[in-house]
Structure 1
Amino acid sequence: MFKNFLFTFVIFLSVTTSAFSKVSGADSIHVQDLKEVTVNGQAIKNARASMPIQIITNKEMALLNANNVSDIAKYFSGVTIKDYGGIGGMKTVSLRGMGTQYTGVSYDGVMMSDIQSGQIDLGRFSLDNISEVSLTNGQPNDIFQSARLFSSGGILSLRTKLLDYNKDQSIAGKVVIKAGSFGLLNPSLFLTKNINEKWAFNLSADALTANGQYSFLQYYGSTDNLSEKLTRTNSDVKSLRTEMNWLYRIKEKESITFKTNFFGSERGLPGSVTFYNTYDSQQRLKDRTFFSQIHYENLISDRFQHQYFAKFNISDNHYSDRDPKYSITNGILKDHYLQKEYYLSSSFQYKLFEPMFLSLATDWFYNTLDINSNVNFKNFQYPTRHTGMANLATKYVTERLTLGANLLYTLTREQVQTGNASPNRDKLSPTANLSFKLLENKELRIRAFYKNIYRLPSFNDLYYQDMGNSNLRPENSNQYNIGFTYLDTEIPFLSEFAIMADGYYNRVTDKIIAIPRDMFHWSMTNRDKVNIKGIDISLKASVKVKNSDLLKLKSNYSYQNAKDATQGSDNFGEQIPYTPLHSGSGSLSYEHKKWEVGYNMIFSGIRWIGQTTDKTNKMDGYTIHSIFVSKNYKQWRINAEIIDLFNTQYEVVKFYPMPRRNFRITVAMNLGK
């Protein structure tokens, strides 16, 4: 299978190397204005970034057979998606083998959080109000950010369709209806309006429903010659998301933005599928998440800028399960989880002299977790955590050289109502990065960075019933990266070309794992060390075929050698679970007048579900092929898709089969302007 992927990748490479684009760029310093040719903003960010960044715009999302943010993330190099199957199954992202908790998710400049598990479900984010999705290794290239954005091993950043004030006061927007296999129906609405010279707003809403009843093959025996066609059950989902943004423009380059967001869902949690297992999962999950935030930004002065955030977030989750083993409660388990977060942030940036910038950001946030259950958590400790962060950063930017460094200070103070709280933590985490243009008249740049960061244990790690360990130490990681970017402006007939390649080494110590205390009980402990060596390669090109026709190509490849490095461990030298050695993606689209057709491919190599690479732990690799065709007519756009064209049976998480071949149709109508 790897040979098949390699062949496809070489085809992409051979075609794209015949295409180069006219691009140059400016660095991501918030106010820096280098005097160069104005070009595509996405290419600019990629070209000069000292921290590797990949960006997919709203226009590109329409070409990727994607229905939510997790589908988009699959097209980034270095990413591993965990998908528990089904339409409503949880979907999380891990970057460069470091684990889900190391990848932060930023939503319009503010980090999303889940203090209970440390994992953000990407399946909850619709694409209909998203203007850009980007993935940055290490941390943001723009130093004018909140301190919290510097506290992860990488950032998946979501940018919504922000307000853009102009004198046109008419309503504009878009109405979209998606329908597809497995009972999928997904209507959405986006509206924006400038009320007057000071006020503007936008509103977005989408609903989704699906029965999730897709077929899969259950194989019996070791030869795969005996199988049965079954239907996935308890995989239904209903969800509703609404968001409203208000912009108040105090004066030019000074504004206040108010945001409110609600997400609610009810879904089945499909169980694992094993040999001759006829048990249908009865697990259900109801989510209610609400957050409100305010952002003040002042960019009036070219020398000094400042911004402030305040946010309140509440997450209410109800989990239930029907099973005869809960005989004491008439066969039903009910768990209720309630999280709250209060967040404040301030950021300042000062231009010391023309190419030199200095920034200071301070954050404070307070988290609580309450759990009530009719069966479990009788002795729950009801933890709270105060976290303070301060980040001092500097950046030097010229036409050919970018140098950056920052120092992040983190402190935590925890309390519990009963038992022992986790110890207070204080930590300094340094980062350094650079980018250098090798040739004056060619966009060939090298880049490198070093980053130290640590992951605080989640409340589940510390306080979960019978498993939590309040004495856990934070995981500590060191990240090293060196790579290059190349852009060309001199080859004709080509409108865009970009290549990025990075090699990296990550070392994680005090890895938090679960180990058995006895036959029936497990406990969280600091034990493992993990060494991760890898390569990420990205290619992108747009070729002018004839007239206004455009051929777009994009491909990514990742090599992740992620080994257990714990001396004396039975698993020493083994690949860590669910991290493929080889993975990648590719896309090809052709635009002709009002028509567009395209092909997308996602590849994952062999993975292992346990700590030993024996046959019983092996998961086969897979390649998923998808196609689409779309037509624009006046204010209308119609898009038809076939996902998993060849009806491939595969699993991302062992025993959780994914949907096979399915269809989706999207009808969109632009409103107003």
Structure 2
Amino acid sequence: MKRVVLFFLLLVFSGVVRAQITADSIQRLDDVVLSDVKLKRYSHGYKVSVLSDSLLQKNRSSFTDLLRFNSNLYFKENGYGMVSSPSFRGTNASQTAVIWNGISINSQLTGQTDFNTINTTNFKNVVIRSGGGSVQYGSGAIGGSIHLNNTLSFSPHFDNTVTLSYGSYDTKNVSYLSSYANEKLSFNIGVNYIDSDNDYKYLNTDKRNTNGAYHNGSINANLGYILNDKDVLKLYHQTFIGEREFSGTSSSSSLAKYDDQNFRTMVEWSHQGDQTFSKLKVAHLQEHFKYFGNKNTENYTFGKVNTYLINYTADIDILTDLKLKPIVSYNYYEGSGSSFDDPNRKEFSTTALLQYTPNNQWQYGLNLRQDITSGFESPLLFSFDVAYEVSDYYTLKLNGSKNYRVPTFNDLYWQPGGNLDLVPENSYQIDLGQEISYKSAQLNLNAFYIKTTDLIQWEPNTSGFWSPENIAKTQNYGVEASLDVSKKIKEHHLSLQFNYAYTVSEDLETNAQLIYVPYHKANFNLAYAYKRMSLFFQHLYNGEVYTTPENLSGRFYSVEAYQVSNLGVSYQLFKTKSQQIDVSLKVNNLFNTAYENVAFRPMPDRNFNFQIQYKF
């Protein structure tokens, strides 16, 4: 009853305010271009990092590589191109939210996103938001969130880009991007296909990565149409279809194969009223997998989930310096699979985001969210953030939040082993940040603390089956630093990006560091451009990680720390007003380092990739 009253009070309050205020005229322009506006307007006290399209160009091979070499995220990858899981500030993959145009696309089966099933073709940038985000983005956004936003610009243009690349292990990649707009219509599409034998050599052995081939195709298409002076209609669609052989380990072979199919479609209607700006989203998401224990047979297991979503938001100026954004959302999840029956879940949520800007120095944010989820008692969530501009060069940021994650379909219904008695994970976090900017340099320093209770862990039970339990209490704390420097001297351009993270993630009962969380991780990118030529160098240091929890008893097992570097060069063959051709060569694992990301799963030796790109 309290939740129902909260919902109706929110609606009544929103209605009263709408009758009294006038919306900011700038809102309409921003919303026409960007779907997830709350990421921009309600994150002043958070660390937000933007990876530009130039970085995406240098890391076309995989989304995992893009983030591994350009952020503080740690990735556990079961061999190159295989399942890839992130660790955000020491949290696990199901506690990292991936947001596509404002909505979560984390799997309802596993709770996480496999980053090797996402292609960044047709995204102008990738945004990383550090810190708890369950109030804005729902279940799972505990460590942070990664945002994929498609942009739709209505400035008249017609641009096309064709990219062809070929590399080691018979790796072929072709993509086509097209973007068109006039004053009423905006359209863009990205099509990508990649195929690789992925049979790299295991260094210091006579073995190769057998049964590791993969191929996939993706489509990312977006359409926007201005109906009139007040209404804009947009359509977003993404398709990914892939097939991967699952490679074995250095000591055992494999014949497994895995098929992925992901479809995402969303229609968005934006309306500029006389007193407020509103937005309605309707979406359908489908995830579908097939697992073949032996690729030479037709026997497989499968899982499938359809998600139906409706979301309504409004942007309201209560006062000149006080903004309110109420959000009402309803999700329906419908699953099926060979390891469970036909589960479903209904989820209703109400959210209120409040932003107060009393002057040019201070920014305050206060946010509340209440979910009603079938089968669970969901907690009342909150978050706050503060940003204080001490001077033109120095800004202090503080944020805190309560976050949660509900059990997935696999956690609850997997047979044998599912546990219907699970309760949602709960987490509290606080983050203190400093941002120092001077001329063309920017330094960010952050310290964070996260405490999680009722953490869901799969362990063997008395019957011999693996089953999830709410048993663990963990704490995560550490510091992060990032530096971005750029310098231009006549026709010489030089830039440096550096990231470092020190992370402690421990079980509060044993005080042991959790498995696959490095204490230290660092990377830097150095780029130089002169006239038609450009060079870049990437370097990654990944500290030692434990693979078993016995690190306090002296019987621990670990994956050793490693360092790996990439080098790239590109040259502009010619450029006119309407056409441009670039060629580039990238050398991955430049020093031919033997290393593992996951125990007994060697990563690739030195390898090459040649690319030609034609813009017209």
TM-score with structure 2 length normalisation? 0.89
Higher relative contact order (CA 8 A, sep 6+): 1
* 1:159 aligns with one of 127, 149, 155: 149
The amino acid that maps onto 1:596 is S
- Say yes or no: does 1:523 pair with 2:518: no
The answer to whether the aligner puts 1:395 opposite 2:355 as a matched pair is: yes
Task: Return the alpha-carbon distance in structure 1 between the equivalents of residues 42 and 408 of structure 2.
Answer: 36
Aligned partner letter, 1:556: N
Cα offset for 1:299? 4.5
SS in structure 2 of the partner of residue 229 of structure 1? coil
Alpha carbons of structure 1 residues 331 and 316: separation in structure 2 relative to 1, 3 Å: closer
1:511 aligns with 2:450: no
Query: What amino acid does structure 2 have at the position aligned with 1:60?
Result: L
1:429 match: 381
- The aligned residue for residue 91 of structure 2 is 98
Counterpart for residue 373 of structure 2: 412
Residue pair 2:355, 2:363 contacting (<8 A) in 1 also = yes
Q: 1:31 to 1:576 in 2, by over 3 A?
A: farther
Rounded Cα–Cα distance in structure 1 between residues aligned with 2:459 and 2:216? 36
Partners in 1 of 2:514 and 2:273 — Cα distance? 50
Q: Which residue of 2 is the match for residue 621 of structure 1?
A: 561
Aligned to 1:361: 327
Aligned with residue 244 of structure 2, among 267, 273, 285: 267
Q: What is residue 267 of structure 2 aligned with on the other side?
A: 294
Aligned equivalent of 2:218: 241
Per-residue CA distance 1:509-551 (angstroms, 9 max, x = gap)? 111112222373222111111111110100000022x312111
1:569 is aligned to none
Please tell me whether the aligned partners of residues 224 and 233 of structure 2 are also in contact (alpha carbons under 8 angstroms): yes
Structure 2 distance, partners of 1:66, 1:603, is 21
The separation in 1 between residues aligned to 2:454 and 2:257, in whole angstroms, is 34
Question: Aligned ranges for residues 487-502 of structure 1 at < 5 Å?
Answer: 487-489=437-439, 496-502=440-446
State which of 291, 295, 305 in structure 2 corresponds to 1:339.
305
Please tell me the residue identity of whatever aligns with 2:168.
S
Q: 1:351 to 1:75 in 2, by over 3 A?
A: farther
Q: Distance in 2 between matches of 1:90 and 1:281?
A: 15
Q: Structure 2 CA distance, aligned partners of 1:82 and 1:541? A: 29
Structure 1: give runs of 5+ residues left out of the alignment: 1-28, 34-43, 218-226, 324-329, 414-422, 490-495, 567-571
CA distance in 2, matches of 1:126, 1:147: 21
Instruction: Provide the residue aligned with 2:434 in structure 1.
Output: 484
Q: What is the match of residue 11 of structure 1?
A: none
Cα–Cα, structure 1 residues 58 and 589, in superposed 2: closer, same or farther, change >3 Å?
A: same
Which of 68, 82, 87 lines up with 1:74 in the alignment?
68
Equivalent residue number for residue 498 of structure 2: 555
1:320 lines up with 2:263 in the alignment: no
Match of 1:669 in 2: 614
Do the aligned partners of 1:476 and 1:509 also contact (CA within 8 Å) in 2? Answer: yes
Structure 2 Cα separation of the partners of residues 543 and 615 of structure 1: 50
Residues 647 and 46 (structure 1), Cα distance of their counterparts in 2 relative to 1, 3 Å cut: farther
Shift of 1:333: 4.0
Q: Summarize the Cα distance change of 1:269–1:215 in structure 2 as closer, same or farther, 3 Å threshold.
A: same
Query: Structure 1 counterpart of 2:170, which letter?
Result: G
Report the equivalent of 2:7: none
Task: Give me the whole-angstrom Cα distance separating, in 1, the residues matched to 2:45 and 2:27.
Answer: 16
How far apart, CA to CA, are the structure 1 residues paired with 2:297 and 2:178?
Answer: 47
Letter in 1 for 2:331: F
Partner Cα separation in structure 2 for residue 108 and residue 430 of structure 1: 22
Provide the C-alpha distance between the structure 1 equivalents of 2:297 and 2:567, rounded to a whole number of angstroms: 46
Contact conserved, 1:148 with 1:363, CA < 8 A, in 2?
no
- Residue aligning to 1:61: 56
Aligned to 2:198, the other structure's residue is in SS state coil
Question: What is the aligned counterpart of 1:349 among 315, 336, 343?
Answer: 315
The gaps in structure 2 that reach 5 residues or longer are 1-23, 29-38
Could you list the per-position Cα deviations for residues 553-580 of structure 1 after superposition, in whole angstroms to 9, with x for gaps in the alignment?
01000000111102xxxxx111100000
> Distance between the aligned counterparts of 2:41 and 2:589, measured in 1?
30
Query: Which moved further from structure 2: 246-255 or 309-318?
Result: 246-255
Whether the aligned pair in 2 keeps the contact of 1:245 and 1:257 (CA below 8 Å) is yes
Shift of 1:314: 1.6
1:404, 1:434 within 8 Å by CA — same for their partners in 2? yes
Separation of aligned partners in 2, 1:556 and 1:262: 32
Letter in 2 for 1:334: Y
Are the aligned partners of 2:139 and 2:406 in contact in 1 as well (CA < 8 Å)? no
Q: Mean Cα displacement is larger for which, 476-485 or 131-140?
A: 131-140
Equivalent residue in structure 2 for 1:125, among 118, 126, 149: 118
- Cα pair 1:147 1:363 within 8 Å, conserved: no
Offset of residue 185 of structure 1: 0.5
Give the secondary-structure state (helix, strand or coil) at the position aligned to 1:425. coil
Change (3 A) 1:412 1:45: closer
Aligned to 1:643: 588
Amino acid at match of 1:444: Y
* Offset at residue 267 of structure 1 (A): 1.2
Match of 1:470 in 2: 420
Per-residue deviation, residues 446-467 of structure 1 (Å, max 9, x unmatched): 1111110111111111111122
Alignment root-mean-square deviation, CA? 2.5
- Asked if the contact 1:139–1:150 (Cα under 8 Å) also holds between the matched residues in 2, the reply is no
Counterpart contact for 1:500–1:539, Cα < 8 Å: yes
Amino acid paired to 2:148? L
Instruction: Give the secondary structure class of the aligned counterpart of 1:60.
Output: helix
State the alpha-carbon separation in 1 of the partners of residues 156 and 518 from structure 2.
52
The Cα of 1:229 is off from its aligned counterpart by 2.0
Provide the secondary structure at the position in 2 that maps to 1:315: strand
* Count of residue pairs brought into register by the alignment: 575
- Does 2:605 align with 1:660? yes
Deviation at 1:499, TM superposition (A): 0.4
Task: Give the TM-score normalised by the residue count of structure 1.
Answer: 0.81
Shift of 1:595: 0.8
Shift of 1:345: 0.5
Alignment partner of 2:325: what SS?
Answer: strand
2:16 paired residue number: none
Deviates more, 1:108-117 or 1:131-140: 131-140
> 1:670, 1:449 → 2: CA distance?
43
In 2, Cα distance between equivalents of 1:478 and 1:353: 31
Contact 1:508–1:529 (8 Å) recurs in 2: yes
1:456 maps to a residue whose letter is V
1:227-282 per-residue CA deviation (whole Å, 9 max, x = no partner) reads 532111111111111132221112346311112222111110112333xx3xx211
SS in 1 for 2:379: strand
